[in-house]
């Protein structure tokens, strides 16, 4: 079962070389594709010796879909540039997908630092993935290629594309949370304060479920958790959601 690893990037010169070197070492039989969304630093030059580099319009959903378009694997595995993946993950993915009812899933989340707030977030994220089947990008989502194509790839949303994709996948079959770990960077969480960011992210998810325009949610996320209780513009959810 051939696996294609797809890494969306934008100005990741500080992390990309280490990430790709590790992926090449730990998963030498996987196809490795980097999708650049318009980096202005040295990301492309640093990635080129390790992976196939393709270019895309900016936006994680668009970048991941463009990577999938170039991929040849039967399994598409989406890994963030600042994430470290457990070498045991590949074997677990292949074993999981021997079950024809399984359509994809993610890895067990943890962070590169251990604090009460980060530990709480990892535990609740993993519980959410097991019970609600909501798999987010920092859990290194993997998808059976045939199902990915049938769904038309990731929805073209400014944010929450991973949440919406996991909801659609769950309607098609089983989503599995594997024991292998995905170690995510805590840099943004700790920069703004972990507990504050946990509350902020829950707030953004509530906005999404309430039907807020994803572009306004993305802009709110980019602005940071400053004024948490702020009136947002609510628009009807897109018809295809």
pLDDT tens by residue, the chain, 241 residues:
999 999 999 999 999 999 999 999 999 999 999 999 999 999 999 999 999 999 999 999 999 999 999 999 999 999 999 999 999 999 999 999 999 999 999 999 999 999 999 999 999 999 999 999 999 999 999 999 999 999 999 999 999 999 999 999 999 999 999 999 999 999 889 988 999 999 999 999 999 999 999 999 999 988 888 755 444 444 444 444 4
pLDDT of residue 233: 46
pLDDT of residue 121: 96
Instruction: From residue 203, give the alpha-carbon distance in Å to each of 127, 189, 190, 199, 209.
Output: 19, 15, 18, 6, 10
| Contact (Cβ atoms closer than 8 angstroms) between residue 162 and residue 105 | no
pLDDT of residue 226: 72
Q: Where in the chain is the domain with CATH 3.90.550.10?
A: 3-185
Beta bridge mates, 119:
none
Instruction: From residue 153, give the alpha-carbon distance in Å to each of 41, 47, 63, 143, 148.
Output: 28, 24, 11, 10, 5
Q: What are phi and psi of 75, to 5 degrees?
A: -125, 135
Q: Could you tell me the CATH superfamily of domain 3-185?
A: Spore Coat Polysaccharide Biosynthesis Protein SpsA; Chain A (3.90.550.10)
Would you call 17 exposed, middle or buried from its count of C-beta atoms within 10 A (0-12, 13-18, 19+)? middle
């Amino acid at each position: 079962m051939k696996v294609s690893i797809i890494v969306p990037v934008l100005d990741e010169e500080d992390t990309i070389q280490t990430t790709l070197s590790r992926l090449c070492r730990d998963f030498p039989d996987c196809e490795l594709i980097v999708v650049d969304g318009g980096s202005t630093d040295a990301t492309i030059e640093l990635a080129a010796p390790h992976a196939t580099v393709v270019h895309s319009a900016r936006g994680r959903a668009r970048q991941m879909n463009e990577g999938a378009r170039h991929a040849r694997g039967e399994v598409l595995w989406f890994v963030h540039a600042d994430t470290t993946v457990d070498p045991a993950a590949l074997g677990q993915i292949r074993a999981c997908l021997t079950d024809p009812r399984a359509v994809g899933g993610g890895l067990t989340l943890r962070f590169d630092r251990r604090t009460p707030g980060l530990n709480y977030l990892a535990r609740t994220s993993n519980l959410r993935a097991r019970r609600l089947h909501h798999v987010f990008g920092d859990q290194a989502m993997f998808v059976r290629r045939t199902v990915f194509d049938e769904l038309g790839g990731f929805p073209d949303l400014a944010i929450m594309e991973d949440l919406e994709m996991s909801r659609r996948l769950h309607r098609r079959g089983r989503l599995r949370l594997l024991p292998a770990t995905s170690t995510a960077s805590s840099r943004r969480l700790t920069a703004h304060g972990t507990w504050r960011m946990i509350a902020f992210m829950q707030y953004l998810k509530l906005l999404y479920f309430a039907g807020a325009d994803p572009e306004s949610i993305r802009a709110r996320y980019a602005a940071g958790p400053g004024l948490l209780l702020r009136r947002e513009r609510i628009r009807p959810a897109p018809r295809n959601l």
